Chain A
């Protein structure tokens, strides 16, 4: 009874859906080509990845300490920092800051998905716009994300054209540049009308309190730059001690996320300010007047105590493993919970606490280990899955 009926049904439907297989197989091909090229052009990335693994191993053992240090820096920079032990704590803090009746623009964030942040804010009476194109598409379709970086990986262009035609009331052809232009049109004024922008972060330097947010679309610059308030939700595993280490983490992340270099790396350490009139520092210039950073534990400390499963916290969320997973190639994110595929099973068990999902996913993993070959952190997913299976099959 470890595989839930509902999960089995979802996988079966995904398996029968040729469009998913087609979309993912195209993505796999271009991912492998792009990443190969990026690593060829920057061969030092491989060595840097080994360094980053060591940085993460150290940082994971000091998450609260680093969060405290980063928080102090952010406060010194006139931002506000918060520590959230649980998902509930994080939601309460953010809901307290947001209130209701607000217009919110949001960057893509796995950590926000982890705690169903958008749904909570909508329920509280706010209007939330996802601004990442993929995330915008699936928000409008009412789907859930299917990949870490490409949430709409399973949706071919024809389906996007149909969706955008319905939204705009105009007949749009399945022409990708035209669809991208339409999204720009639809979202442009939202950025400037929004009361609040919400983002995550890829890595945070504790010694400066600097959040690194990697992107290509430019939606995050606008989300974190245009509205008067910026709220950032950060999982504590994202913290590293120093700024130069954060740079390394960021570089390795984007290379394995299939970019030689991303269009933008946003670095945020505090609210916007100016001293241009009489050298009097004044907060709230062109950027936000307020920055709120929530550092969330949500099971990460418990996970860090497990000598095998703690590897899940080293994950940079580059998404590379997913392209190498044969099962993901058939099912996309249906082999997933909040996080996907083999490593997603660990997060389901230890962080989101979805035990039924975790045990279903534990036995969906082939334990073939190709994800480990791809992973810049060399996370041993089969080893973690076997430990997870043991905890299911032979509970203590």
Chain B
């Protein structure tokens, strides 16, 4: 069973996340009451047989950014990114006001990428999907546990999470975070006996209903699409986002020469890399942005909170302010009337 704050033989940054999932049901261990704030004012269906699964990443990116920045500093200065984590109370150590940051991140347009969730729901509704949302009752998928090697803990969490989903009457899930969606669709069936919920990603749900709405980006733009590893290579969702982008008026899809689709280069955040080797992770982000920038794109589009954070940071390091990095959900929301 899941244990709290045990010493684990894995890198400290990953162990920190594991403890948070087990104790707080989210990657940063934050208080649950705030969890569904991003959704305030959205008119979700009371029927929760089909639910939107928001996950952690988009909601908490405003907090992850200073965390990763601090780790990079520690990595560069001391060759020890574990240091700030080991000293305990990372928020205190970093001078970060967790509660304040969280409410900022959770409020509408309050920084971070929680607005992506609102955009995604807007788009799903526009193409005709009727959705419920579990809010504070949405369980954490625990995917990071699996990827850091704590697969027994992941399975224990999956069993509990499935219980909660089942008791809410969930039959279908539309996920937005790639790693949550991959975990729910591919890892849960092996970890949680009897798991029979149909799990699809946002882009599949949009692609099949694209004709139900007219998408027109406000201005003509060149868009380069960055494939998140878990969405592209793990789940094979390579054609769908491209088909969706091609169906948006005023969008011209451009691709790097060698590194698109299944050959896409990782943003540098794969497998928890950014908390284990933060400095190298940033260099990989810069390299990836440089590949995408070579296409002459005005906008780099992706659909993963981790990639989004990495690519934005890479662009900043490149001092390139001619290109904008946005989530595909946001680009689509902007393209609606």
Residues on A lying within 8 angstroms of B by beta carbon are 1-3, 5, 8-9, 11-12, 15, 32, 324, 326-327, 329-331, 359, 362-370, 372-373, 382, 385-386, 388-395
- Kindly identify which residue among B148, B229, B276, B277 contacts A393, using a CB–CB cutoff of 8 Å: B148
Cα–Cα, bound, A75→B129 (Å): 72
19 additional contacts (CB under 8 A) given A363-B11, A366-B270, A395-B9: A5-B79, A9-B79, A15-B283, A32-B258, A326-B288, A330-B283, A364-B277, A366-B268, A367-B229, A367-B270, A367-B271, A370-B262, A372-B233, A386-B146, A389-B148, A391-B149, A392-B149, A393-B10, A393-B150
- In the complex, 20 of the A-B residue pairs with CB atoms within 8 angstroms, ordered by the A residue number, are A1-B9, A2-B9, A8-B79, A11-B280, A15-B279, A327-B284, A329-B287, A330-B280, A331-B280, A362-B149, A366-B284, A367-B271, A368-B229, A370-B229, A370-B233, A372-B233, A389-B10, A390-B149, A390-B150, A393-B151
Residues on B lying within 8 angstroms of A by beta carbon are 8-11, 14, 79-80, 146-153, 229, 233-234, 258, 262-266, 268, 270-273, 276-277, 279-280, 283-284, 287-288
Residue of A nearest to B233 (CB): A369
What residues of B have a CB within 8 angstroms of the CB of A393 in the complex? Answer: 8-10, 148-151
Cα–Cα, bound, A385→B263 (Å): 20
Residue of B nearest to A12 (CB): B79
**Chain A binding site: helix, strand, loop or mixed by DSSP?**
helix
What residues of A have a CB within 8 angstroms of the CB of B234 in the complex? Answer: 369
Contact A373 B146 (CB under 8 A): no
How far apart are B237's CB and chain A's nearest CB, in angstroms? 14
How far apart are A22's CB and chain B's nearest CB, in angstroms? 13
What residues of B have a CB within 8 angstroms of the CB of A8 in the complex? Answer: 79-80
Residue of A nearest to B266 (CB): A368
Given contacts A326-B266, A330-B280, whether A2 and B11 have CB atoms under 8 Å apart is yes
- Kindly identify which residue among B9, B151, B268, B279 contacts A326, using a CB–CB cutoff of 8 Å: B268
Given contacts A32-B258, A326-B268, whether A386 and B149 have CB atoms under 8 Å apart is yes
How far apart are A362's CB and chain B's nearest CB, in angstroms? 8
What residues of A have a CB within 8 angstroms of the CB of B79 in the complex? Answer: 5, 8-9, 12
Residue of B nearest to A33 (CB): B258
What residues of B have a CB within 8 angstroms of the CB of A364 in the complex? Answer: 273, 276-277
What residues of A have a CB within 8 angstroms of the CB of B264 in the complex? Answer: 370
Contact A390 B273 (CB under 8 A): no
Contact B262 A373 (CB under 8 A): yes
What residues of B have a CB within 8 angstroms of the CB of A2 in the complex? Answer: 9-11
Cα–Cα, bound, A5→B83 (Å): 13
Residue of B nearest to A388 (CB): B149
Contact A370 B265 (CB under 8 A): yes
Contact B271 A365 (CB under 8 A): yes
How far apart are A4's CB and chain B's nearest CB, in angstroms? 11
What residues of A have a CB within 8 angstroms of the CB of B283 in the complex? Answer: 15, 330
Cα–Cα, bound, A369→B10 (Å): 21
Given contacts A366-B266, A370-B265, whether A392 and B229 have CB atoms under 8 Å apart is no
Cα–Cα, bound, A385→B270 (Å): 13
How far apart are B299's CB and chain A's nearest CB, in angstroms? 23
How far apart are A119's CB and chain B's nearest CB, in angstroms? 29
- Kindly identify which residue among B9, B149, B271 contacts A366, using a CB–CB cutoff of 8 Å: B271
- Kindly identify which residue among A3, A5, A330, A362 contacts B284, using a CB–CB cutoff of 8 Å: A330
Contact A327 B233 (CB under 8 A): no
Contact B287 A326 (CB under 8 A): yes
What residues of B have a CB within 8 angstroms of the CB of A395 in the complex? Answer: 9
What residues of A have a CB within 8 angstroms of the CB of B263 in the complex? Answer: 324, 370, 373
Contact B277 A389 (CB under 8 A): no
Contact B287 A366 (CB under 8 A): no
- Kindly identify which residue among B14, B147, B265, B268 contacts A367, using a CB–CB cutoff of 8 Å: B147
How far apart are B87's CB and chain A's nearest CB, in angstroms? 15
What residues of B have a CB within 8 angstroms of the CB of A330 in the complex? Answer: 280, 283-284
What residues of B have a CB within 8 angstroms of the CB of A388 in the complex? Answer: 149
How far apart are B33's CB and chain A's nearest CB, in angstroms? 31
Contact A394 B150 (CB under 8 A): yes
Contact A390 B277 (CB under 8 A): no
How far apart are B72's CB and chain A's nearest CB, in angstroms? 12
